[in-house]
Amino acid sequence: MVRVLIADPIAESAIRKMKDAGLDIVLRDASSDGPIKDQIKGFDGVVVRSATKITREVIESSDTLKVIVRAGVGLDNVDQEAAKEKGITVMNTPEAPTVSVAEMVLSLMFALSRNITRADSSMKDERWEKKKLAGTELWQKTLGIIGFGRIGQEVAKRAKALEMNVLAYDVVDITEACRTYGTQKASIDDIISKSDYISLHVPLLPQTKGMIGSAEFEKMKPTAFLINTSRGGVVDEAALVEALDSGKIAGAALDVFETEPPTDWSLIKHPKLIATPHIASSTTEAQARVGDLTASKLIEALK
Ligand code: NAD
């Protein structure tokens, strides 16, 4: 029988799906099961979230392990090099949160344009600031997307439905994707200088760290809004504070930060900024999809 160790808690529905596929499922209890390096022997697959670390030592002490599935995105807790050396397949589920993040981007664009968060907090302070809170429409505005992968494309699809003009930039060839979504391929400079909304969807890499800094804010429209749901560090936070203070841009919305949770809260408290605590993928549906994708990928790989 093919044996799978569920090292961190995952959705009940995913466990049922794996059992239905004939897999022998063992739920690990980290408090009583001892070190995973001793427990891993005899298992063909292991499922982890972020808590359990599949280190080189764990991989080397495994004897029948063929597949490691990280239910979620980041693979920092799995030694991929050690797995590769032993011919063990490592998988994750980066596609699970795509729609949730795209919907969050649209929410933040609306919230920025219509001062939703400021309107709500002034009402709760018993103030009726009708005149101060006039906004702008998204209709026929230009959205610039930097990083036209899974999430960037879902954002584009939704923005097109709002009849926005969508520009996209990526380091890979996106000609076909632009045709599919009716977006216009653009240079990063065009996106920076022509967009009313700029949304970031790149991974955090040495090349993307601080890619939006003072030089970029200098070229943006004073009416532009910046949205970052990708990774903290892609935006230079000190430069953003300066751009908001000096009116180089109209506002920004951040779901991700250089330090999480932040230690310096001055940017968060800026009146032109909307801040959310890394919740773009925190939806019931995205969580369910993580479980579902984990189960299907594991079943497929162990077939
Ligand atoms: P993806 O891999 O599908 O797309 C990323 C795109 O960025 C790729 O097309 C890639 O070619 C492009 N890219 C890489 N370097 C670039 C550069 N220097 N300039 C321009 N483009 C570049 O990833 P995705 O699933 O769309 O995720 C995008 C980002 O969103 C990632 O940083 C991911 O970690 C983040 N994310 C955040 C949350 C959240 O909760 N806030 C949830 C999921 C994903």
The structural domains of the chain, with segments of one domain joined by +, span 3-96+284-302, 98-275
* The two structure tokens encoding residue 98: 């795509």
Instruction: Indicate if ligand 1 lies below 6 Å from the C-beta of 203.
Output: yes
Which of 50, 190, 230 to mutate to test ligand 1, by most ligand atoms within 8 A of the CB atom?
230
Within a 10 A sphere around the Cβ of 222, how many other Cβ atoms?
10
Instruction: Indicate if ligand 1 lies below 6 Å from the C-beta of 173.
Output: no
Grouped pLDDT means (10 residues each) for the chain, 303 residues? 95 95 96 95 96 96 97 93 97 97 98 98 98 97 98 98 98 98 98 98 97 98 98 97 98 97 95 97 93 96 92
Does this chain's domain 3-96+284-302 share its CATH topology with 98-275? yes
Instruction: Report the half-sphere exposure of 62 (CA within 13 A, side-chain side).
Output: 25
- H/E element holding 192? helix 188-194
pLDDT for the residue 219: 98
How far apart CA 121 and CA 182 sit, in angstroms, is: 38
The CA 173 to ligand 1 mean position distance, Å, reads 15
Ligand 1, atom 35, residue with closest C-alpha = 230
The CA 5 to ligand 1 mean position distance, Å, reads 30
Amino acid letter for position 75:
L
Within a 10 A sphere around the Cβ of 16, how many other Cβ atoms?
13
pTM confidence score? 0.93
Residue given tokens 């940017």 in the structure block: 267
Q: Which positions are annotated as active-site residues?
A: 231, 260, 278
The three-state secondary structure class of 171 is coil
Pairing of the two strands 165-169 and 142-146 = parallel
Query: Residue 293 phi/psi, 5° resolution?
Result: -70, -35
Instruction: Indicate if ligand 1 lies below 6 Å from the C-beta of 286.
Output: no
pLDDT for the residue 215: 98
Residue count of the chain = 303
> Which CATH entry fits the domain spanning 98-275: 1.10.10.60, 3.40.50.300, 2.120.10.10, 3.40.50.720?
3.40.50.720
Pairing of the two strands 67-70 and 45-48 = parallel
How far apart CA 172 and CA 146 sit, in angstroms, is: 11
Ligand 1, atom 30, residue with closest C-alpha = 230
What would the CATH number be for the domain defined by 3-96+284-302? Answer: 3.40.50.720
pLDDT for the residue 303: 86
